[in-house]
Amino acid sequence: MTGLALVLPPFFLLVFFILVPAAEAVLDTLRVERGGQIVYSLVRYAEMLRTVSLRRSVVFTILVTLASVGVTFALAYALALYLRFSKGWVSTLLGALFIIPLFIPTVIASFAMVTFLEHHGYVATLLHTIGVEDTPSLVFNATGIVLTEVWASIPFATLVLLAGLQGIDDALIDSARDVGAGALRTFLAVVLPLNTVATVITMSLLFIGILGSFTIPYLVGGNAPQMMSVVMTNYFTNYLRPDISVALAALSFVIAALAGAAYVGGVSHRERGAV
């Protein structure tokens, strides 16, 4: 019971300042006045799902999030594999490099990406110098959001995957190589299955983080379609429809909860296996 007493202070903070306000906000979206009486109804959610621009935003958000998670995961896995299995100056430099974005505030990362990728930005200037004129637009659209999300997410993903890889015994890899498995086969048959927990953690937490991110899509995204977090803010401040804004937030929370369930499933699977 001492344990419970020590755990309650931060839990009460969470309940009092996040969970209760969130529940209040969502309950408020369900209350509708009908003939002078307050009744509970899903009309606002129906309205939200009927609005074409909002439906597009939900689909766009999920697609951009999945693309960002996919690209980050592939890059971070390659990085983690190299850092785990290679020694030398390339490995040392990669190890110093991949951590840098963790320390750059997201507002700065987004702004830096804009100066880098914009029309007549640094990438365009470099391409112009080598004679390429028709550069596709890289920013203020989905490409810009994905690139910036990947940039900002690489350190976390690589750290978690690398720690997972460091937990794999060298002897297992050596024995796979001894019986004649090539690098690819060893990776698919030995490394990948042994690193499942790290994989699930990385993917689900990247998904939750990117889905809810506001700064990056706000500064780097385009006019339409926009990600849900930006649309929520617009509905709140510009269209003066806080109810729709909260309904969208609730939907975003439900989608995040699905990824949370994947995380819990992936991690408990390991605990059962360990016992």
Partner 1 sequence: MSAVSAALRQRAGGLFWFWSVGAFRRSLPVLFLAGLAAFILGPLLSLILWAFAGRWFYPALLPQEFSLKWWDVVFGNRSVVSSIKYSLMTAPTVTLLSALICLPAAYAFARFQFPGRRFLLLSFLSANSFPKIGLYISIATLFYRLHLMTTFWGVVLIQLMGTLLFMIWIPTGTFRGINRSLEEAARDVGASSARTFFQITLPIAMPGLLVAGLFAFLAAFDEAQGTLIVGSPNYITMPVMMYTLVLNYPQPVGAVFSILLTVPSLVLLLLAQRLLRQGYLAAGYTL
Residues 91-120 that bind partner 1 (CB under 8 A): 93-109, 111-113, 115-117, 120
Whole-number Å distance between alpha carbons of 236 and 233: 5
DSSP state of 76: H
Contact between 1 and partner 1 (CB under 8 A)?
Answer: yes
Q: Is 189 in the site for partner 1 (CB under 8 A)?
A: no
CA distance 89 to 86: 9
How near is the Cβ of 105 to partner 1 at its closest, in Å?
Answer: 5
- Our measurement of the distance from residue 155's CA atom to the centroid of its chain's CA atoms, rounded to an integer in Å, reads 12
Task: Give CA–CA dist 208/215, Å, rounded.
Answer: 15
38, with CB counted inside 10 A (0-12, 13-18, 19+), is exposed
Cβ atoms < 10 Å from Cβ of 146 = 23
Q: Please list, in sequence order, all residues whose beta carbon lies within 8 angstroms of the beta carbon of residue 100, skipping any fewer than 6 positions away.
A: 155
18 binds partner 1 (CB under 8 A): yes
Q: Does 137 bind partner 1 (CB under 8 A)?
A: no
Residue 60 beta carbon to partner 1: minimum distance, rounded to whole angstroms: 16
Distance CA 205, CA 211 (A): 10
What does the block give as tokens for 211? 């889905």
Residues 240-269 that bind partner 1 (CB under 8 A): 242, 245-246, 248-250, 252-253, 256-257, 260, 263-264, 267
Please report whether residue 180 would count as binding partner 1 according to CB under 8 A.
Answer: no
**Which residue, 159, 164, 153, 138, is CA-closest to 220?**
138
Considering only the stretches 36-44, 57-65, 161-169, 172-180, report the one whose residues sit in contact with partner 1 under the rule CB under 8 A.
161-169
Q: Which of 209, 217, 221, 225 binds partner 1 (CB under 8 A)?
A: 209
Q: Residue 33 or residue 35: which is nearer to partner 1 going by CB? A: 33
182 is an interface residue for partner 1 by CB under 8 A: no
- The position carrying tokens 């990085």 is 79
Shorter beta-carbon distance to partner 1: residue 53 or 122: 122
Among 60, 156, 206, 216, binds partner 1 (CB under 8 A): 156
Give which of 14, 91, 97, 60 is closest to 224, Cα–Cα. Answer: 60
Using CB under 8 A as the binding rule, whether residue 140 contacts partner 1 is answered as no
Minimum CB–partner distance for residue 111 and partner 1 (Å): 5
The 59-98 site mask, x for binding partner 1 (CB under 8 A), equals ----------------x--xx--x---x---x--xxxxxx
- CB contact at 8 A, 230 and 218: yes
Nearer to partner 1, 35 or 274 (CB): 274
Decide: is 195 part of the binding site for partner 1 (CB under 8 A). no
67 or 94: CB nearest partner 1: 94
Q: Which is nearer to partner 1, 226 or 229 (CB)?
A: 229
Over the range 67-87, which residues count as b (16 or more CB within 10 Å of their CB) and which as e? bbbebbbebbbebbbebbeee
Q: Does 9 bind partner 1 (CB under 8 A)?
A: yes
Q: Quick one: which H or E segment has residue 45?
A: helix 43-50
Minimal distance, residue 81 CB to partner 1, in Å = 11
